[in-house]
A and B are shown apart, each in its own frame.
Chain A
């Protein structure tokens, strides 16, 4: 069905009726979906939003040393296991770089936190964090990786806040990636027919459906039959 081919309808840009030419691609439509050279994303964006993404991607925020440090941290926070790749394999470092540019408020904490990490590593092991032995890296992280959940985060030591942020972005980057969603086992985002909670799940969680409630619910075998009602609003089909 082409919903725009009604010959009686015109989609005009801002132009007044008399000024528009029939048969031309309407400006308004072109406006919403205009091509931006070099742009590769395939989800609905306005031209301004596409430009913003292009602009952010053309910027470099973290130095190569910082990016390597981020990769080391991501791999420690979510390493590969026998079934799934690491947060690095899932693209978490690139996501963190993008977010640092997209949300500049993150920059000082991330960059400063990594400087702190290098300083601490140098003090403890005589080498910067990324070059330290994995056992030493973990020894250092063990001092900042746990937080006291009874104290608001912004009142805790800066290095604890930094690692929380790095962990949040890493875990988020992982579980919003293709690998991470497969790992999680999320089954949705696809056309389907919802027909209630599976019985074994109801049993596992100790709940049940009321028959009376179920009787009101959609009969999925008739969902494609056009609805008709009597005068009281009772569904007939």
Chain B
């Protein structure tokens, strides 16, 4: 089979169109460059009626929204999931890592929780605090100007609280708390746990004339048709297409490898066109990988050549290592004080209106690093699963559970909106022994070797999950409630979610000054090839007790500014 080459040479080829790729595309196109964006999934626009799930009713789906096809339910936007037909991944030594992929323009930004937390000064230098992991080669002061710009470009609601490790920013005003959130605030105060307005990238106020304002349907996971939340295509790719530069979008195009010349520099990428299943090549002066931490590692490891026999960027044997995902443990409670509710529209934004950032000092605890608390509840739209065990909570009142007949209607209404749930999302310690690598025995349906994962949690993370559960039970009791289900046991890792489940994969191409212990430098440029950059979460040295997207965006902007500068100076 002959590989078809494009005659055009781009200034930059961006692999992936999520947060990191979208931001790079925007910054480079704004600088007037010719950019190719290569995305493995189809074109997607949240405003396209044919693809819209927002404002649909449960009965519009024959499965009433059940998660048979899409893991977060039939109305969730992400195309893909933990398993994608024809694109397997494997595991080593019986370990577990669940890898979520969203194959579409905008990638996983189409359905994420929009929780947009800056890393704080301590997060970049946490080894200085507890001796664990590694420090970043950059600090908060390097990233702050870019966080500021991201806040203003994309929009995030929140409040300036002057917290030492949860920095202030340029926030839109937050929405008022809902009823269950007022219960949470009161319950948390009893335990001296602080609660603040949440920080989510949803437009509670207009930021420009191109995007709409939130209309409070609570459905950001369905992607917003008026672009009132952050998705990479609506907020970055589409604006980039209207900017000074030329943006060519290659969709349904899965990159196989970065091509290099005899000097070891990148010349472009080769990709598989999923429509005709043939391989093509694109030429570019710079290649920017933003395919997700694990996908970018896979592309690098599959890019073997005489100059890069161990895979591109892998002379130090670091690519794929230090993979880590946020810790996560969850719990829900039944709150009698929230029974018998008057019904009104309390959909609110598509996520929490309040949250708790990490509030304790680890000196007094038996685990390192912290977690933030996410809270959910309320009178949401019924969907698959609604009405299951309709009067289970009768058990708390010594009333019979089960039955049939008209009384079930009253039971459902009595308990509607009386459940409140918590998610703890915390920081793990990045370990060399948690990694992805190429599985030489398995290829995907395009003939490309797949990833094999090796990942174990340590007691650091397990003890953190134990603390989450103890905190959640205390909070539920403070609210006068009953925790649901048994306390997860030690054998169950205290409910600690399997690695990958929180969908914050980071660390596979970490940044550092030393090529022997890192893959990219502080500008996310490969030590081994100066015209290859990585702008997804691969360069993260550590995760922080924050969600990663806002930092991906800020760092991608910073790296892209550097690329523009280097191209101007003809250094690359």
Q: Which residues of A contact B (CB under 8 A)?
A: 1, 3-4, 6, 8-19, 26-29, 31-33, 41-44, 46, 49, 52-53, 56-57, 76-79, 81, 84, 91, 95, 98-99, 102-103, 141, 145-150, 163-164, 167-168, 171-178, 180-181, 183-198, 200-202, 204-209, 213-214, 216-219, 222-227, 229, 232-235, 237
Instruction: Provide the bound-state CA to CA distance between A6 and B390, in Å.
Output: 52
With both beta carbons as reference points, the residue of chain A lying nearest to B219 in the complex is identified as A189
Q: Does B65 contact A (CB under 8 A)?
A: yes
Q: Is the CB of A145 within 8 A of B403?
A: yes
| Interface SS of A by simple majority | loop
Q: Is the CB of B42 within 8 A of A226?
A: no
Instruction: Provide the bound-state CA to CA distance between A204 and B338, in Å.
Output: 10
Residues on A with C-beta less than 8 A from B219 are 189
Q: Is the CB of A176 within 8 A of B386?
A: yes
Q: Is the CB of B213 within 8 A of A6?
A: no
Sampled A-B contacts (30; CB under 8 Å): A3-B47, A8-B241, A9-B247, A11-B43, A14-B275, A14-B276, A14-B278, A16-B282, A31-B42, A44-B51, A46-B42, A77-B408, A98-B62, A103-B66, A149-B392, A164-B402, A171-B390, A172-B388, A176-B64, A186-B379, A189-B55, A189-B381, A190-B345, A192-B345, A200-B342, A205-B179, A209-B182, A223-B204, A226-B205, A235-B171
Instruction: Provide the bound-state CA to CA distance between A86 and B403, in Å.
Output: 16
With both beta carbons as reference points, the residue of chain A lying nearest to B249 in the complex is identified as A11
- Checking A33, A98, A146, A173 against B51 with a beta-carbon cut-off of 8 angstroms, the contacting residue is A33
Distance (Å) between the CB of A175 and the closest chain B CB?
5
Instruction: Provide the bound-state CA to CA distance between A17 and B182, in Å.
Output: 55
Residues on B with C-beta less than 8 A from A53 are 62
Q: Is the CB of B179 within 8 A of A188?
A: no
Can you list, as one digit per residue, whether each of B172-203 has a CB less than 8 Å from chain A (1) or not (0)?
11111111001101100000000001000000
With both beta carbons as reference points, the residue of chain B lying nearest to A195 in the complex is identified as B176
Give the interface segment out of B250-258, B466-474, B512-520: B250-258
Q: Does B309 contact A (CB under 8 A)?
A: no
- With A171-B390, A172-B387, A225-B205 as known contacts, state yes or no: A146 contacts B59, CB within 8 Å: no
Instruction: Provide the bound-state CA to CA distance between A79 and B409, in Å.
Output: 10
Give the interface segment out of B4-12, B125-133, B523-531: B4-12
Q: Is the CB of A187 within 8 A of B388?
A: no
Q: Is the CB of A217 within 8 A of B401?
A: no
Q: Is the CB of B6 within 8 A of A17?
A: yes
Q: Does B416 contact A (CB under 8 A)?
A: yes
Can you list, as one digit per residue, whether each of B147-186 has a CB less than 8 Å from chain A (1) or not (0)?
0100010010101100000001111111111110011011
Q: Is the CB of A15 within 8 A of B169?
A: no
Q: Is the CB of B280 within 8 A of A14?
A: yes
Distance (Å) between the CB of B81 and the closest chain A CB?
12
Instruction: Provide the bound-state CA to CA distance between A50 and B15, in Å.
Output: 28
Residues on B with C-beta less than 8 A from A178 are 57, 59
- Checking A17, A91, A98, A214 against B248 with a beta-carbon cut-off of 8 angstroms, the contacting residue is A17
Q: Is the CB of A213 within 8 A of B217?
A: no
Instruction: Provide the bound-state CA to CA distance between A237 and B388, in Å.
Output: 46
Q: Which residues of B contact A (CB under 8 A)?
A: 4-8, 36, 42-45, 47-48, 50-53, 55-66, 68-69, 74-75, 77, 79, 148, 152, 155, 157, 159-160, 168-179, 182-183, 185-186, 197, 204-210, 213, 215-219, 238, 241-242, 246-253, 271-276, 278, 280-282, 337-338, 341-349, 379-390, 392, 394-395, 400-406, 408-409, 412-413, 416
Residues on A with C-beta less than 8 A from B274 are 14
Q: Is the CB of B217 within 8 A of A191?
A: yes
> In this complex, which of A12, A174, A234 has the most chain B Cβ atoms within 10 angstroms of its Cβ?
A12
Instruction: Provide the bound-state CA to CA distance between A99 and B278, in Å.
Output: 38
- With A32-B50, A192-B345, A218-B205 as known contacts, state yes or no: A181 contacts B406, CB within 8 Å: no
Q: Is the CB of B69 within 8 A of A49?
A: yes
Distance (Å) between the CB of A163 and the closest chain B CB?
8
- With A43-B60, A189-B55 as known contacts, state yes or no: A217 contacts B238, CB within 8 Å: no
Q: Is the CB of B43 within 8 A of A14?
A: no
With both beta carbons as reference points, the residue of chain B lying nearest to A177 in the complex is identified as B59
Instruction: Provide the bound-state CA to CA distance between A232 and B63, in Å.
Output: 50
- With A14-B274, A41-B61, A186-B379 as known contacts, state yes or no: A218 contacts B157, CB within 8 Å: yes
Instruction: Provide the bound-state CA to CA distance between A17 and B217, in Å.
Output: 40
Q: Is the CB of A192 within 8 A of B216?
A: yes
Q: Is the CB of A3 within 8 A of B238?
A: yes
> In this complex, which of B4, B43, B77, B380 has the most chain A Cβ atoms within 10 angstroms of its Cβ?
B43
With both beta carbons as reference points, the residue of chain B lying nearest to A181 in the complex is identified as B382
Q: Is the CB of A102 within 8 A of B63?
A: yes
Residues on A with C-beta less than 8 A from B45 are 3-4
Residues on A with C-beta less than 8 A from B218 are 188
Residues on B with C-beta less than 8 A from A219 are 173
- With A31-B275, A164-B402, A184-B416 as known contacts, state yes or no: A44 contacts B379, CB within 8 Å: no
Instruction: Provide the bound-state CA to CA distance between A175 and B168, in Å.
Output: 43
Instruction: Provide the bound-state CA to CA distance between A164 and B390, in Å.
Output: 10
- With A14-B276, A15-B273 as known contacts, state yes or no: A224 contacts B61, CB within 8 Å: no
